[in-house]
Amino acid sequence: MKLFKKIMMVCVVCFAMHLTAQTSDLLRVEYLNIPNNNSKNSIQRFRGFFQLPLKINENDYFVVSGDYRTTNLEFNNNIPFETKDLENIQRIEATLGYVHRTEGDWIYAGNAGLRLASNFVGKMVSDDYIYVANVYAIRDRTRKEDVEKPSRLILGLNYTTTPGRDFPLPIINYYKEFHPNWTYTLGVPKTNVRYKIDDKNHVQTFVTLDNFHANIQKNLIVDNKLAEHISMTTILGGVGYEHYFTDHLLYYAYLAYTISNDHRLRDNDREDIYTFEDQPSVYLRTGLKFKI
């Protein structure tokens, strides 16, 4: 029983430290494709992620994590300026977190780190560096034997030094097992309903957010305005499938359609300078996870 409790503690630790992905992953490799067939301004992203919990004592953990993303952008021939320096952007992030579990249902956690996000076509500049910090309070009732419908509530704040966003964003996530084979999650960035077909096959429907942001090292002049950053924000809904090879290793695939799609250049005040894409598109994301 003690071993089981330790394992579950590690699971909750990882969930807390990587809430933005709503996952207890220890390792993930992933591929994303947004073809944008109407405009041919396609987006492909490759991602690798890991997190490692380090035990301090029975109730306290450090968590080390790393996240690497490389995004390839293909632009159509109608863009009225040179796009060669924008065809690849990268994001490298490292964080260190701390988690404390109380004797009751509550867990308190926080992490901080550094993110590099840029097109990396020249020397590093100050706008390539983004500092990140998160704090969480988690009420975990997923493993209590006297609870008929297990649940988990996560409240928190996320802060980054992304230009033009000098305020923290709230984090709200609520998970509930309302039937032996059914669960739902309400929150940001993902809301879903999941059905367990059997031990190896799960399906879900979901609404979620996806985005990227990167500094442009050699700023562009577009219509006499200075473009300093490239970014995308999309809201999408779709279906997902997971196949478990083992209890911890699984393949997943998500097929969705973008409800809102905004791919643009911006200045340091988050004012739009040029929009590459604002039309809906098919969205495909697939990969492998190793999780607790």
Give the pLDDT confidence of 67-76 residue by residue, as tens digits.
999 999 999 8
**Cβ neighbours around 229 below 10 Å, total:** 22
Structure tokens at 164: 């033009």
More confident residue, 284 or 7: 284
Give 80-89 pLDDT, tens digit per residue. Answer: 999 999 999 9
Which region, left, alpha or beta, applies to residue 276 given φ > 0 means left and ψ of -120 to 50 means alpha?
A: alpha
Q: Which pLDDT does position 136 carry in this prediction?
A: 95
Q: Which pLDDT does position 2 carry in this prediction?
A: 45
What's the rounded mean pLDDT across residues 199-208? 97
58 alpha carbon, distance to own chain's centre: 29
Tell me how many degrees the CA angle 232-236-242 measures, rounded to the nearest 5: 115
Query: Taking a C-beta distance cutoff of 8 angstroms, is the pair 159, 165 a contact?
Result: no
Q: Which pLDDT does position 9 carry in this prediction?
A: 46
**Which residue type, as a one-letter code, is found at position 218?**
K
What's the rounded mean pLDDT across residues 182-207? 96
Confidence category of residue 59, pLDDT binned at 50, 70, 90: very high
Query: Taking a C-beta distance cutoff of 8 angstroms, is the pair 20, 133 a contact?
Result: no
Chain position carrying tokens 């802060």:
159
Please write down the HEC assignment for all residues of the chain: CHHHHHHHHHHHHHHHHCHHHCCCEEEEEEEEEECCCCCCCCEEEEEEEEEEEEEEECCEEEEEEEEEEEEEECCCCCCCCCCHHHCEEEEEEEEEEEEEECCCCEEEEEEEEEEEEECCCCCCCHHHEEEEEEEEEEEEECCCCCCCCCEEEEEEEEEECCCCCCCCEEEEEEEEEEECCEEEEEECCEEEEEEECCCCEEEEEEEEEEEEEEEEEEEEEECCEEEEEEEEEEEEEEEEEEEECCCCEEEEEEEEEEEEEEEEEECCCCCEEEEEECCCCEEEEEEEEEEC
CA–CA gap between residue 192 and residue 250 (Å, rounded): 18
Is the pLDDT reported for residue 226 higher than 80?
Answer: yes
What's the rounded mean pLDDT across residues 127-137? 96
* pLDDT over 90 percentage in the chain: 78
CA–CA gap between residue 54 and residue 31 (Å, rounded): 28
Query: Taking a C-beta distance cutoff of 8 angstroms, is the pair 181, 196 a contact?
Result: yes
What's the rounded mean pLDDT across residues 51-77? 94
For the domain 2-291, what is the CATH code? 2.40.160
Q: Which pLDDT does position 146 carry in this prediction?
A: 75
Q: Which pLDDT does position 8 carry in this prediction?
A: 43
What's the rounded mean pLDDT across residues 25-31? 96
Q: Which pLDDT does position 39 carry in this prediction?
A: 81
What's the rounded mean pLDDT across residues 188-210? 96
What's the rounded mean pLDDT across residues 35-51? 92
Query: Taking a C-beta distance cutoff of 8 angstroms, is the pair 217, 121 a contact?
Result: yes
Q: Which pLDDT does position 109 carry in this prediction?
A: 96
Distance from first CA to last CA of the chain, Å, rounded? 17
Q: Which pLDDT does position 167 carry in this prediction?
A: 86
Is the pLDDT reported for residue 166 higher than 80?
Answer: no
Sorted by where each begins, the domain ranges of the chain are: 2-291
